Amino acid sequence: MIADLASYLQFFESFRQRTERDVAALPAAGAAWRPPIDGEAGWSIGQIVAHLGGTRLYFASAYRNEGWLWATPEMDPDGQRSWLPWLDTSAHGAHPR
């Protein structure tokens, strides 16, 4: 169980590194694949990456008592090269000040 801020930040950093490693290793064909389902269950990998980054900032803004603010993803869900920079930006913006 995570009981203090330092432990959470260590967990967050470990999770962030694994996520970015996996996103970076995704081949182009995998990045372009989309499930044949409508709604959130049919999101592309790029849409999931956009959501991951946005969610980080969403919860961080609430934690900092700034309100529940949704950030427009600074990436192109269809442009795999924009994914890692977005994850990096959102990770650094999510850290408490």
Distance CA 20, CA 49 (A): 10
20 falls within a domain: no
Q: How many folded domains does the chain comprise? A: 1
32 falls within a domain: no
15 falls within a domain: no
25-29, 33-37, 82-86: range with highest mean pLDDT:
82-86
**What is the pLDDT at residue 73?**
92
Token digits of residue 73? 């993803």
Domain that includes residue 79, residue range: 43-97
73 falls within a domain: yes
Distance CA 94, CA 88 (A): 10
59 falls within a domain: yes
Mean pLDDT of the chain: 89
Rounded to whole angstroms, what are the CA distances from 54 to 2, 34, 36, 37, 84?
Answer: 23, 20, 24, 23, 13
86 falls within a domain: yes
**What is the pLDDT at residue 95?**
58
**What is the pLDDT at residue 33?**
87
Does residue 7 surpass a pLDDT of 80? yes
